[in-house]
Amino acid sequence: MRKIETVEESPELTLPVSERDHIQGPATAKLTLVEYGDYQCPYCGAAYPVVKRLQKTLGNQLRFVFRNFPLTQAHPYALVAAEAVEAAGLFEKFWPMHDVVYENQARLSPESLAVWAHQLGLDDDKLEMALARPEIAKRIKEDRFSGIRSGVNGTPTFFINGRRHDAPLDYASLLVALEQTLDK
């Protein structure tokens, strides 16, 4: 008889947050919210304003980390978007590019990514050179594999202080989970 494997109820984050990550908020924050996301995923698009609101509400108590988990089978532009945002990150423009992609997700295309990068001050030559750098693909692969090892199988998936959040992803539910973690 074949043994059925079960997944732990609240898996742990296998790759701890470090300098390699894209982080908003202070390192001294008592709460760390890690998102594994896909730039073309409509659920990630819906979670984007929720995260922004949580950041505003919790201020310096929260640091937010974004990791790439492009679902390329379902979203044909997810990988190219992740690459463009990571390339912008090489010029200290990760968060502005991340935000513009989510804020304009309905218009996401390879052409729009180039326009948005240009609006952020990145010229075509710089962006093309950055996209060709091997660390872009390496980071996206590392993010994806760390997500898989942490039990991520869809997007968005959130971890609060290293534990997967399996409750609803609306503002109130996430805020309660964060506040309960803060109280521990």
- Domains with residue ranges and CATH for the chain: 22-183 (3.40.30.10)
E-only strand ranges, the chain: 22-24, 31-37, 62-68, 157-160, 163-165
Task: Check residue 7 and give its pLDDT.
Answer: 39
Q: Spell out the per-residue pLDDT of the chain, length 184, in tens.
A: 333 343 344 589 999 999 999 999 999 999 999 999 999 999 999 999 999 999 999 999 999 999 999 999 999 999 999 999 999 999 999 999 999 999 999 999 999 999 999 999 998 888 888 989 999 999 999 999 999 999 999 999 999 999 999 999 999 999 999 999 998 8
Q: Of 11, 5, 6, 7, which is closest to residue 165 (Cα–Cα)?
A: 11
Q: Give one DSSP letter per residue of 122-167, joined into a string.
A: --HHHHHHHHTSHHHHHHHHHHHHHHHHTT--SSSEEEETTEEE-S
Task: Check residue 110 and give its pLDDT.
Answer: 94
Task: Check residue 155 and give its pLDDT.
Answer: 97
Reading the block at residue 95, the tokens are 């968060």
DSSP 25: S
Q: Please say whether the beta carbons of 148 and 128 come within 8 A.
A: no
DSSP 3: P
pTM attached to this predicted model = 0.92
The CA–CA distances, whole Å, from 167 to 34, 54, 142, 159, 177 equal 15, 16, 26, 11, 8
Task: Check residue 32 and give its pLDDT.
Answer: 98
